[in-house]
Amino acid sequence: MQLQQFVTEAVENLGGVVMPVEYALCHVLIPEAYASYFQNKTELKLSFDFEVAQENPDSEFITFGSYVLEQLLTIVHDKAKTTVRYAEIDRLELGNPQKKIAAFLQDEQGKTIIEAERPVLGVWTVFGYHTAFVADEKTEKTDQVWVNMLTNNVDSVMKQKHHHIMYQQQGSYAYPIPVKLDMERALQEATAHIKEKSEQQKNAQVDERQIAKDIDRINNYYDALVAENNKRANRKGLSETKQQEIYDKTETIKLERDKQLQEIYNKANGEREINLENAILYFVPLLEYTITRRFRGNQKQLTLFYNPITKEFFKCGNDF
């Protein structure tokens, strides 16, 4: 899919208007609701060809990494609820796969032989979470977790490079999916990941030394009150009623101490709120390689996948 077509569809899906001016040049009207994504602008002039951009210096040249394209990609990710997207790959091919596979397996001993190569569909599920940490105040944020459905592992590299993915809503490939998808396990992996990340962020906000000082301060203060109260209770000549009154006050002091210590504990630990807000399913064409590794008379067959988005190989856990 051409960038111009993608931008046009994205803007129109937001309720905006795209008006072609000439070849690779157009005026765009952005709805007010999304103006904040574009520095509060509702009118844009976009060019999709380098020479056209030079002839129209007041336009923004749209290419990978350009501001407008990045903002549009941010919007479509933020506003998605549940949807399916099919990545567009210009050319699904890999030059000199033998050499590149050998480099990927450089830590493995043996000779590599490529037995078969075929295109397949990789699948990534993007789980969108809203997290909050509630202590003295509420800290909120949104985050996405990308899970490779072929491996059921969290994929931080695809998350980093997702802005490079151009997609359409309907698939144009008849490639097979090489594994049985386990959505329940993928959700478990994503939720475990976001919980661990949320816990790390919470711990980073907690000043443990200050908390320790506060606990010592409170314990010392109330210990002194209890000691003074016990001293009063041990005075000679007090009636049993008066002594009991003093002992009751000591228990009240201890309860107040425990209450303040609990408040410090609550402040340090707070409450985490984690909610799944949306999910996006990406189908990405991959190259699957069936290879044989031979070493000292032994051999084993492995399956590798080449991802054209990340320009990297990956393997399923059961193969190694």
User: Tokens 């937001």, residue?
Assistant: 14
Rounded mean pLDDT, 134-153: 84
User: Residue 302, Cβ neighbours under 10 Å: how many?
Assistant: 19
Q: Distance between alpha carbon 45 and the CA centroid of its chain, in Å?
A: 32
What are the residues facing 61 on neighbouring strands? Answer: 47
> Tell me, what's the pLDDT at 206?
60
What's the CA gap between 262 and 264, in Å, rounded? 5
Q: What are the CA-CA distances from residue 169 to residues 88, 151, 291 (Å)?
A: 10, 24, 33
Q: 3-state DSSP call for residue 15?
A: coil
| Percentage of residues of the chain with pLDDT beyond 90 | 41
Q: How confident is the model at residue 305 (pLDDT cuts 50, 70, 90)?
A: very high
- Please measure the distance between the N-terminal and C-terminal CA atoms of the chain and give it in whole angstroms: 37
Integer angstrom CA distances of residue 36 from 9, 42, 74, 253: 20, 9, 12, 54
* C-alpha closest to that of 116 among 286, 313, 304, 311: 304
Q: Is the model's pLDDT at 96 over the cut of 80?
A: yes
User: How many Å apart are CA 316 and CA 305, to the nearest integer?
Assistant: 9
Report the pLDDT averaged over residues 152-177.
Answer: 88
pLDDT of the residue at 19: 92
Residues 6+ apart with CB under 8 A from 265: none
**6 Cβ neighbours under 8 A, 6+ residues apart:** 166, 167
CB 17 within 8 A of CB 28: yes
Distance of CA 198 to the CA centre of its chain: 11
pLDDT at 137: 65
Task: Return the higher-pLDDT residue of 314 and 319.
Answer: 314
Minimum mean pLDDT range among 163-172, 190-199, 207-216, 249-258: 207-216
pLDDT band for 1, please (50, 70, 90 cuts): very low
Structure tokens at 266: 């609550």
For residues 260 and 76, which has the higher predicted lDDT (pLDDT)?
A: 260
Contact yes or no for 94/289 (Cβ under 8 A): no
Q: Is residue 216 pLDDT above 80, yes or no?
A: yes
The C-alpha angle with vertex 307 and arms to 299 and 176, in degrees rounded to 5, equals 80
What's the pLDDT at 208?
Answer: 67
Question: What pLDDT score was predicted for residue 320?
Answer: 42
pLDDT, residue 82, reads 55
The amino acid that residue 42 corresponds to is T
Provide mean pLDDT across the span 168-189: 89
CA angle 178, 86, 68 (to 5 degrees): 140
Tens digit of pLDDT for each residue in 235-282? 877 788 888 888 888 888 889 888 888 877 766 666 778 888 788 899
Q: What is the pLDDT of residue 205?
A: 60
- Could you tell me the pLDDT band of residue 226, with boundaries at 50, 70 and 90? confident
Q: What pLDDT shows up at residue 81?
A: 57
Residue 270: its pLDDT value, please?
A: 65
Burial of residue 220 (CB within 10 Å: 0-12, 13-18, 19+) is exposed
Residues 6+ away with beta carbon under 8 Å from 45: 25, 26, 27, 28, 56, 58, 59, 60
